[in-house]
A and B are shown apart, each in its own frame.
Chain A
C-alpha cells in the first residue's frame, strides 16, 4: 500500500490514459464491458486521489520523478539543477484533483444514459478519459512544458467532445470557437515559456522560483501567462466564447469543462503565487485581478438574467461565480507582501476564494446536469417552450432547487459558507467588493427563480404529458454531486481545516514547494 501511494501521482495520470487506449478495443466487443471499464477506472482513480490526499496531509509535499531510481531523486549526484520530469503534488494540487475525480466520476455515470441514443459512443468515452488525464496532468505537473502539453490535451479532447453531436450546427460552432480560443491561448503560453527558458535555462517551476529576477521580459511573460489562462477561465472581457461553447455541449461534458476552467485558474495561481511569488509586484497584479474579477461578476450575472436558453444562462452564471474566486484570491495576492494584513484578512480571503472553488465545483455541474435532464426530456434547450415539468420530473426539480439555493448563497447550504467567508474578509480590503458581491447574489437568485418558474412551475403543457423521469444513471450522477453538497453543508469547518487551509497556505508560502524539489537529495 505504501508503494502504491508513492507511485500514485503517475498512476493517477496513467490509468485514464491506459483506459483511453483500451476502450476502443473493448468497445468493439461489448458495450457493457466498455461502460464498466470507464466507471471502474474512474472509481479506482478517485480512491487513489483520496489516499494521496491523506498522505499529503500527514507527510507534506509529494514528489515523483519520472525515470529515476527512486521517486524523490530530483537532483542526481553531479547535477546542480533538477533534471527529468518531476510531478509535484502539494495541498493545492491535490485539492483540485479531488474535485476533478469526483466530478468526472459523476459525469461518466451521467453520460451512460445521456448519450445512450447517439452513435460513436466509444469515441466519446475515449475522449472523456483523455480529458480526465489531461486535467490530472495539469494539476500535478511540476514543470512548465508539461503544463502546456496537458493544457493542450485537455483542450483538444474538450473541443472534440463539445462538437460531439454532429447533427446540430450550433455544436460545431461552439466546438470551433473553443478550439480557436484554446489554440491561441496555448500558443501564447508556449511563447511565455520560451521567454522564461531563454533567460534561465530551466523549465522546472521550483527551480525557476528560486532564480527568477523580475526583468522586463519576465513581466511580459507574466502578463501572457495570466491573460492566456484567464481567457481559458472565462474572465470578462475574454468571456465571449464561454457561453457559446458550454451551452451546446452534452451536459456531462459541460460539467467537466467547468472543472477544466478551474484547473486553468489553478495554473494561473501556480504562476502568480509560486513561480513569481518572491519577486512579483503583488499589489499591482492583485488589483488587476480584482478589477477584472469585479467586472466578471457583474457582467456575468446581468447577461445571465437576460438569457432564454437554459444551458447558456447557466454558463453565464459560471462566469460570474468564477469572478468571486478571482476576487477572493486577488485580495490575498494584493496583501501578500504585508504580513499583518495577510494574517488579518488575506488568508481568510484566499480561503474563501478556494472554498468557493470547491462549492462551485459541486453545484455548478449539478445544475448543468439538470439542464441536460431538461434537454433529454423535452428535446430542446429553449426555456420559452418549457413549462410545468415539475409534475413529471420530481427528482430533477428537487436537485435543481438544491443547486439554486446553493449558488445564490442561501443558508444553510454550502454556497453560503464560502460566500460569507469572502464577504467578511474582502470587506476590510475595500467595501465596494462586498457590495458588488451581494448585488450579484441577489441577481443570481432572481435569474434562477425565473428559470425555475418558466421550466418547472405551472400547469402541465400538453406536449410534455407523456414521458417519465429521466433515466436512473443520470439521477445517480446528480446525486453524487448532491451528496457532496450536503456533506459540505453540514461540515464546513471540517472541509476548511482539512482541505482549504492547507491549500491556501501552500499558495502563500512558496518556500515549501521550492525546498521539496531543490532540497530533496536522498
Chain B
C-alpha cells in the first residue's frame, strides 16, 4: 500500500473519464455510447470515493473502531446515491435504444437518425 503514490486513484478516474469521452465522441454504435456513459459514471464515482480517503484511515463505522483517523463518509453516501441514479439512467437509455432499433432497424447513430437541421 505504501508503494502506490497517493494520487493514483485520481489519475485512474481522470483516465476513465477521458477514455469515456473518446468513446462517446467517436464510436457510432449506440450500445457503445451507453457503455461510454456507464464508464464515465464509474470514473466519477471512483473520483468521489477517492477524494474521501485519509492516509491510514479506517472505514467510517463506529462499532469496534480501531484507533486512528477515519475516511470521510459523506463522499461514500454521495457515491451510493450516484450509483442508484445512474442505474435508472442506464435502464432508461437501454429501453429507448431497444425501441429505436425496432423502429429503424439500425444501431448506428448516423443511420438511425431522422431529425436533422
Q: Residues of A at under 8 Å CB distance from B?
A: 145, 148-149, 152, 156, 159-160, 163, 166, 168-170, 172-176, 179-180, 182-184, 186-187, 190-191, 193-194, 197-198, 201, 203, 243-244, 247-248, 303, 306-307, 312
Q: Are B81 and A176 in contact (CB under 8 A)?
A: no
B71 within 8 A of A: no
Which 3 residue pairs of A and B lie closest in terms of their CB atoms, listed nearest first? A169-B103, A198-B51, A244-B115
Task: Kindly provide the distance from the CB of B69 to the nearest chain A CB, expressed in whole angstroms.
Answer: 14
Q: Are B81 and A149 in contact (CB under 8 A)?
A: yes
Task: Kindly provide the distance from the CB of A220 to the nearest chain B CB, expressed in whole angstroms.
Answer: 12
Q: Are A176 and B96 in contact (CB under 8 A)?
A: yes
Q: Are A149 and B75 in contact (CB under 8 A)?
A: no
Residues of B within 8 A of A184 (CB): 24, 37, 40
Known: A180-B33, A187-B40. A152 touches B47 (CB 8 A): no
Q: Are B89 and A170 in contact (CB under 8 A)?
A: no
Q: Are A179 and B40 in contact (CB under 8 A)?
A: no
Task: Kindly provide the distance from the CB of B11 to the nearest chain A CB, expressed in whole angstroms.
Answer: 15
Q: Are B117 and A247 in contact (CB under 8 A)?
A: no
Residues of B within 8 A of A197 (CB): 51, 74-75, 78
Tell me the complex Cα distance, A362–B86, Å. 34
Residues of B within 8 A of A148 (CB): 82
B89 in complex: contacting residue of A179, A307, A312, CB < 8 Å = A179
A159 in complex: contacting residue of B47, B92, B112, CB < 8 Å = B92
Q: Chain B, 82-101, contact with A by CB distance < 8 Å: what is the 0/1 string? A: 10011011001100110110
Task: Kindly provide the distance from the CB of A20 to the nearest chain B CB, expressed in whole angstroms.
Answer: 15
- B-side interface mostly: helix
In residues 11-58 of chain B, which contact A (Cβ within 8 Å)?
Answer: 17, 24, 30, 33, 37, 40-41, 44, 47-48, 51
Q: Are B85 and A166 in contact (CB under 8 A)?
A: no
Known: A152-B85, A184-B37, A191-B17. A172 touches B48 (CB 8 A): no
Q: Which residue of B lies closest to A168 (CB)?
A: B103
* 14 further A-B pairs in the complex, CB-CB below 8 A; given A166-B99, A186-B85: A156-B92, A163-B99, A173-B114, A176-B96, A180-B24, A182-B89, A183-B93, A187-B41, A187-B44, A191-B44, A193-B78, A194-B78, A201-B72, A306-B117
Known: A159-B92, A163-B99, A190-B82. A170 touches B114 (CB 8 A): yes
Q: Are A194 and B75 in contact (CB under 8 A)?
A: yes
Tell me the complex Cα distance, A190–B24, Å. 18
Residues of B within 8 A of A173 (CB): 100, 112-115
Known: A173-B112, A248-B115. A156 touches B88 (CB 8 A): yes
Q: Are A172 and B103 in contact (CB under 8 A)?
A: yes
Q: Which residue of A lies closest to B49 (CB)?
A: A194
Residues of A within 8 A of B89 (CB): 152, 156, 179, 182-183
Q: Chain B, 59-72, contact with A by CB distance < 8 Å: what is the 0/1 string? A: 00000000000001
Q: Are A172 and B96 in contact (CB under 8 A)?
A: yes
Residues of B within 8 A of A303 (CB): 117
Residues of A within 8 A of B103 (CB): 168-169, 172
Task: Kindly provide the distance from the CB of B16 to the nearest chain A CB, expressed in whole angstroms.
Answer: 11
Q: Are B37 and A176 in contact (CB under 8 A)?
A: no
Q: Are B104 and A175 in contact (CB under 8 A)?
A: no
Tell me the complex Cα distance, A71–B17, Å. 40
A179 in complex: contacting residue of B41, B85, B92, B114, CB < 8 Å = B92
Residues of A within 8 A of B88 (CB): 156
Residues of A within 8 A of B104 (CB): 169
Known: A172-B103, A176-B100, A190-B48. A149 touches B85 (CB 8 A): yes
Task: Kindly provide the distance from the CB of B70 to the nearest chain A CB, expressed in whole angstroms.
Answer: 13
Tell me the complex Cα distance, A152–B72, Å. 24
A183 in complex: contacting residue of B37, B72, B78, CB < 8 Å = B37
Q: Are A194 and B48 in contact (CB under 8 A)?
A: yes
By CB atoms of chain A within 10 A, which of B47, B51, B82, B113 has the most? B82
